[in-house]
Amino acid sequence: MNFYQDLGFLVFGSRLKRLGDTFINDINKVYKDHKIGFDASWFPVFYILSQKKEVSIKEIADDLKVSHSAISQLTSSLQQKGFIKSVVSKKDARNKAITFTAKGEKLLQKIRPVWIALEKAMNELVEESASSKKILKALTAVETGLHTKDLFERIDVHL
C-alpha cells in the first residue's frame, strides 16, 4: 500500500508539499555542493530582480501573490546579507525600490547556470511520462479553479 497514492485527493495538498520540499532540498544540495551561498527560498526575489532590475516590495508581493509582510521579511534578510539594497525609485521618487548590490549581482551570475540546469532537469523529468507532460497545465487549472471558489467553500458545501 502506498499511503499517499491510495488516498488520492484526500492528501493532495500533502503530496504537493512533499514534492515541493523534495525539489527545494535537492536544489539547495546543488547550491551547497557547488559552494554557492544561495538558498532556494530566495529564488523569487532574485528572479524578479534579475528581470526588472528595480522593484518595490509591493510589486514583488503582488507578483508572487503573498503578503507584503512576508516579502518585507525576506528582503530585509537579503539586505542584511548584503545582496540587495533599498533605493529611491526611479519610477516615483516618493517610493523606495529594491535593487541588487554588487554582491547580489555577483551571486546572480553564479546561480544563473543552476537555474538553466534546473529547467533542463525538470523538462527531462516530465518528458519521462506522457502524464507528467500535462502537469503544468493541470496545476494551472487547479489554481484557476481555486480563484473561482476556494477550497474552504468547496468543502463547506459538503458538510
3-state secondary structure 104-154: HHHHHHHHHHHHHHHHHHHHHHHHCCCCHHHHHHHHHHHHHHHHHCCHHHH
Residue 18 predicted with pLDDT over 80: yes
What would the grid cell of residue 24 be?
Answer: 527545494
The enclosing H or E element of 86 equals: strand 84-88
Average pLDDT over residues 120-127: 94
CB 88 within 8 A of CB 97: yes
Average pLDDT over residues 8-25: 92
Local confidence band at 1 (pLDDT 50, 70, 90 cut-offs): low
C-alpha–C-alpha distance, residues 12 and 16, integer Å: 6
Q: In what order do the strands lie in the sheet with 84-88?
A: 54-55, 96-100, 84-88
pTM of this structure: 0.84
**Domain spanning 3-128 has what CATH number?**
1.10.10.10
Write out pLDDT tens, residues 105-117. Answer: 999 999 999 999 9
Domain boundaries, the chain: 3-128
